[in-house]
Amino acid sequence: MTFSLSNTVRSLVLAAGALTLAACSTFMPGSGSNDKITLTGANEVPAVATTASGTGTVAIAADGSVTGSITVTGMEPTMGHIHQGAPGVNGPVIVPFTQSGNVFTAPAGAKLTEAQMAAYRAGNLYVNVHSAANPAGQIRAQLKPAA
């Protein structure tokens, strides 16, 4: 009986360990598990008076891999990107999105550098979508790393 109980306890411990590792890899900071964003004109620099908006999810994994998509409404978009810049500051494009109508998607294989990951962890990356009427950007949202 002891042999059986010992094997059962060992199996439970191993199963608990596997579940803990799976949970850590799924919910680790920067995994992008909670990176839902809403883009507005008020977040642009300078602010843009517009009824346009955008929603979506941008996930940045611990290794810097970028996935996600943004859907915009109320505007005729021309392009969308992830930029490096603090809130209230404009910065350079670091990940150009692929456009299909009003949907923008991170391209397959997109990955941030170490410096860009540091900027992400500091809250210094943002997504914005441009239009002919607002070529510098019509709507914007700051990316915030998962806590």
Same domain assignment for residues 13 and 56: no
Plot region of 27 (φ>0 → left; ψ -120 to 50 → alpha; else → beta): alpha
Distance CA 12, CA 88 (A): 51
Q: Alpha helix locations (H) across the chain?
A: 2-27, 114-121
Same domain assignment for residues 99 and 134: yes
Same domain assignment for residues 40 and 20: no
Q: Which residue(s) pair with 142 in the sheet?
A: 126
Same domain assignment for residues 126 and 77: yes
Enclosing domain of residue 12: 1-29
Mean pLDDT by 10 residues, the chain (147 residues): 45 37 35 74 97 97 96 98 97 98 98 97 97 97 88
What is the total count of domains within the chain? Answer: 2
What percent of the residues of the chain are helix, what percent strand, and what percent coil, each to the nearest 5?
25, 35, 40
Same domain assignment for residues 46 and 10: no
Same domain assignment for residues 54 and 93: yes
pLDDT tens digits, one per residue of 38-69:
999 999 999 999 999 999 999 999 999 999 99
Same domain assignment for residues 59 and 126: yes
Same domain assignment for residues 9 and 54: no
Same domain assignment for residues 75 and 112: yes
Distance CA 78, CA 126 (A): 17
Count of CB atoms situated within 10 Å of the CB of 23: 10
pLDDT of residue 8: 45
Q: Which two tokens stand for residue 136?
A: 């510098």
Same domain assignment for residues 65 and 134: yes
Same domain assignment for residues 90 and 129: yes
Which of 143, 127, 129 is CA-nearest to residue 52? 129
Same domain assignment for residues 2 and 43: no
Are 62 and 121 contacting, i.e. CB atoms less than 8 angstroms apart?
no
